[in-house]
Structure 1
Amino acid sequence: MRSLRSGFSPASLLTGAATLVTLGALLVAAPAAQAADTPLRDLAAAKGKAIGTAVTGSKLTGTYGDIAGAQFNWLTPGNAMKWETVEPSRGTYNWAEADQIVAFAQAHNQQVRGHTLVWHSQNPDWLENGTWTPAELSTLLQDHISTEVTRYKGRLAAWDVVNEPFNEDGTYRSTLWYNGLGADYIAQALTWARAADASAKLYINDYNVEGVNAKSTALYNLVKSLKERGVPIDGVGLQAHLILGQVPATFQQNIQRFADLGVDVAITELDIRMQLPASEAKLTQQAADYKAVLDACVAVSGCSGVTVWGFTDSDSWIPDVFEGYGAATPYDENYVPKPAYHAIATALGGTTTPPTGACTATYGVTSQWNTGFTGQVRIACSGAALSAWRVSWSFGAGQRITQAWNATCTQTGAAVSCVNASYNGTVPNGGSVTFGFNGAWSGSNPVPAVTVG
């Protein structure tokens, strides 16, 4: 599946001094990347599980990079390792983003799941529109798998080798590979991948196979057959692109039956979409759904872990594909952890809970360049309300605010204080306001802790 969406547009500029106002409720503030006392990756490791996220290489900086590095112990390239990206023209390769993600993972002591070697989608035009004999198609596929897997040999823990081979009724999907090579293209791809890297775990990955149904049974029968034939198959990936309130009742049973075949089971692309706008009731249901998925994995020793398909709504593919739906990930577009985040932590044995009867302020860096950056602060209330607000922080590396909008900000030395504009001081229970600013930096740009002014 695709990930990757972003965008930010500053509003009108407001600067200058102002009289500070008193908060109408307790303002609890912390950077989003420090939302839990114990990072998700540490909670997961304590249970012998992976907790991963799909990422976009170009965004691995600022708050996005901080959260990706601190909270997760596995990374999946959202699009960087797909065929159309790595070989857009025949024989011409582009490894830049894939290399960037692998380097980031190594620097943050993370594992990488390669995604994906054989798929019916996101193939380059030269391949998709070519006319190939079966022998030519087989050679192209073998060369692609050997080239990509060999490049990352010893650096990737797992590969989604074959992606989405089945129709909903359990028949094989009509694709370039199935039509040209027959069903055995799957066994051939796995065999070639194992030859290129003997240590990486090899998976077949599909969607709508989370519960027991015709499609998951076809996948089960395929894996059983491959095992009996001695074909290298180490795991199955259940994508888990789910809809609010529709976690299959047979999820854990299905994980267990695959594990009983002697293969690993991973939840590889979890997101839970809802019809917009989001509401407190929907977010509560989403949290329960996330917890149900994590609980099912934790309960089965053969489930290796869970990867969310992007951790922030600003990087989610859902709004671009499912009109009117979104808010599918554990963090909102401003990197504020949602109830789903806390549900994941709880399922992994954490004790963190979302604040109640409070308003939270979250600082994030939305873009950054050589000498400047754009920042954003979101104030959100749950179980409380504000009639006016002020937030403050202290820059730790000499950064300075140069412009602000939707707030009046003043800076003295390292200390910054921002108060509401005349039109956005009211924050109702369940509501939020956002203000932004441009700043200058040199050397480093760490995220400060936001506190009561």
Structure 2
Amino acid sequence: MKRIIYAIVVLLLVSSCKKGSKPGGTTVPVIPASDTSLQKMLPFKFGGAVNINLLRTNTKYADVAKHEYNSITAENAMKFGALHPQENTYNWTDADYLVNFAQTNGAKRVHGHTLIWHQSLPSWVTNYSGDSAAFENIMKTHIQTVVTRFKGKVTSWDVVNEAFEDSGVLRNSIWRQKLGDDYIARCFQYANQADPDAILFYNDYGHEYSSAKRTAITNMITDFKNRGIPIHGTGMQFHMTVTQSDANISTAINAAAATGLKVHIAELDIRLNNDKVQGLTFTTAMATQQAAKYGYVVKTFNAIPAAQKYGITTWNVGDADSWVPGWLGAPDWPLPFDAVYKRKPAYYSIINAVK
């Protein structure tokens, strides 16, 4: 009897949410059957960047990762500071847990994030007083130790993360200060030496709002291809506001695809409270606006050549897990699952966008 009642409820929901338009032209998401999942319904990989502690301790969180995703990224567990806290010490516990979780729950793809970044560095690196050759050895040894550890288990890597400023100039990070402008190319070479089968990405934010940064990244990719530097993909973070224009989103995705490399929307979230309004509450209108923006991102991504669609990854799982409210200092709801891991309109919009 319970199954019959549940089936009736699902049918009523579907019939009441058929795709159409509200006044003002806003599309209402269709609600698919209850047994759908993102990994089943999308023609490309879809995943989340996960918190290992929540993966271990929060059953609902882990269930979403198991049921919905076929690609997993470590939110923090594979960053330099987490993996390599002391010069001669590596801590593999959390990263190994993630890889084992992926292997035992449907052989999910693991995307490694990130080998070299100007943040999340341990003090032994930032305070290192050796010469450039010694610093080069730190970079090379870290990259190759990590990539070798996960060879055959981690399919792809964000080799270098956020090396450009919004202005398009190279960020004056500790890596650039110690090793010069071409350190990025050597990072890719070192990673490729450690695992020739790994798919190597350059990852950055701002593609959707900074033409200067986008052009700088494209020029770097062109230079690498001309020099035979092994780069296979571009990662677009897409931490964006719901008011970001569709035109800018299209320009960013199509520019990335024009490089001929694989494209990964690698850290997607769509925030609603960019004005940092304290006490703001999540409304149906906000949910609908967010759903439309998620749908546009997915539809535009899905239109690029199939061989270049590496996938879409949201930055964490549910709204309560997101970095955005802490960064804003105000409430926000940037992800397709709510604070208790229920599917939001954005979830259904993602699925409808590929139909």
Instruction: Give yes or no for TM over 0.5.
Output: yes
Answer yes or no: is the 8 Å Cα contact 2:203–2:237 preserved in 1.
yes
| Deviation of 1:36 (Å) | 4.2
Question: Which of these residues, 40, 48, 51, is aligned with residue 46 of structure 2?
Answer: 51
Letter in 2 for 1:306: I
Structure 2 CA distance, aligned partners of 1:181 and 1:336?
47
Q: How far is the alpha carbon of 1:50 from its aligned partner?
A: 1.1
| Cα offsets for 1:107-136 (capped at 9, x unmatched) | 122000000000000011111122231111
- CA deviations 1:5-26 (Å, max 9, x no partner) are xxxxxxxxxxxxxxxxxxxxx9
Partner of 2:215: 217
Question: Does structure 2 conserve the Cα–Cα contact (< 8 Å) formed by 1:271 and 1:309?
Answer: yes
Match of 1:134 in 2: 132
**8 A contact 1:146–1:192 mirrored in 2:** yes
Is residue 117–residue 160 contact of structure 2 (8 Å, CA) maintained in 1? Answer: yes
Select which of 85, 105, 109 maps to 2:82.
Answer: 85
Match of 1:207 in 2: 205
- State the match for 1:103 in structure 2: 100
After TM superposition, the structure 1 = structure 2 runs for residues 171-190 of structure 1, keeping only pairs within 5 Å, are 171-190=169-188
SS at match of 1:269: strand
- Counterparts of 1:79 and 1:253, CA distance in 2: 29
User: Which of 299, 324, 349 does residue 343 from structure 1 map onto?
Assistant: 349
Q: Structure 1 residues 93 and 318 mapped into 2: Cα distance closer, same or farther (>3 Å)?
A: same
Tell me by how many angstroms 1:230 deviates.
Answer: 0.4
The question of whether the paired residues in 2 share the 8 Å contact of 1:146 and 1:196 is answered with yes
SS in 1 for 2:41: helix
SS in 1 for 2:247: coil
Aligned length: 318
Instruction: Say which of 318, 334, 337 aligns to 1:331.
Output: 337
Q: Deviations over 1:76-112 (max 9, x none)?
A: 0000000110111221111111101111111122000
Deviation, structure 1 residue 279: 1.4
2:296 to 274, 292, 296: 292
Q: Tell me the CA shift for residue 261 of structure 1.
A: 2.4
Deviation by residue 1:245-285 (Cα, 9 ceiling, x = unmatched) = 21451323332333232210110000011114221111111
Deviates more, 1:56-65 or 1:175-184: 56-65
Aligned mates of 1:221, 1:325 — CA distance in 2: 38
Structure 1 CA distance for aligned equivalents of residues 311 and 159 of structure 2: 18
Contact 2:84 2:90 in 1 (8 A): yes
Counterparts in 2 of 1:342 and 1:208: CA distance versus 1, 3 Å = same
The aligned residue for residue 24 of structure 2 is none
Q: Is the 8 A contact 2:234 2:261 kept in 1?
A: yes
In 2, the alpha carbon distance for the partners of 1:206 and 1:300 equals 19
Q: Per the alignment, do residues 300 and 211 of structure 1 end up closer, same or farther by CA in structure 2, a change over 3 Å counting?
A: farther
Give the whole-Å Cα distance in 1 for the aligned partners of 2:71 and 2:290.
23
Superposition deviation, residue 322 in structure 1: 1.0
SS in 2 for 1:242: strand
AA partner of residue 83 (structure 1): F
Name the SS of the counterpart of 2:244 in structure 1: coil
Rounded Cα–Cα distance in structure 1 between residues aligned with 2:186 and 2:34: 44
Q: How does 1:50-449 map to 2 (within 5 A)?
A: 50-60=45-55, 61-108=58-105, 109-210=107-208, 213-275=211-273, 276-301=280-305, 302-349=308-355
Q: Relative to 1, partners in 2 of residues 1:287 and 1:94: Cα closer, same or farther, differing over 3 Å?
A: same
Separation (CA, whole Å) in 1 of partners of 2:234 and 2:197 = 17
**Alpha-carbon distance in structure 2 between the residues aligned to 1:73 and 1:247:** 29
Q: SS where residue 249 of structure 1 aligns?
A: helix
**2:5 paired residue number:** none
Deviations 1:210-258 (A, max 9, x none): 3561111110111011101100000000000001121451323332333
| Partner-residue secondary structure (3-state), 2:325 | helix
**Deviations, residues 7-59 of structure 1 (Å, cap 9, x unaligned):** xxxxxxxxxxxxxxxxxxx987xxxxx98432110112xx2x11010011222
Cα gap change, 1:51/1:115 in structure 2, threshold over 3 Å: closer, same or farther?
Answer: same
**Distance in 2 of aligned mates of 1:282 and 1:250:** 21
Question: Are the counterparts in 2 of residues 274 and 328 from structure 1 also a CA contact under 8 Å?
Answer: yes
CA distance in 2, matches of 1:284, 1:88: 43
TM-score where L is the length of structure 1? 0.67
- Deviation by residue 1:142-163 (Cα, 9 ceiling, x = unmatched): 0000000000001111100000
* Structure 2: 5+ residue stretches without partners: 1-7, 11-31, 274-279
| Structure in which a larger fraction of residues adopt helix | 2
Q: Is the 8 A contact 1:210 1:248 kept in 2?
A: no
* Partner Cα separation in structure 2 for residue 285 and residue 218 of structure 1: 32
Which has the higher relative contact order, 1 or 2, with Cα contacts under 8 A spaced 6 or more apart? 1
2:180 and 2:46 mapped to 1: Cα distance?
Answer: 35
Residues 298 and 36 of structure 1: CA distance in aligned 2, closer, same or farther (over 3 Å): farther
Answer yes or no: is the 8 Å Cα contact 2:167–2:210 preserved in 1: no
- Counterpart position of 2:17: none
Distance 1:212 1:127 in 2: 30
8 Å contact 2:318–2:338 — kept in the other structure?
yes
- Structure 1 gap segments, 5+ residues each: 1-25, 29-33, 350-453
Aligned to 2:234, the other structure's residue is in SS state: strand
SS, match of residue 335 in structure 1 = coil
Distance 2:296 2:130 in 1: 46
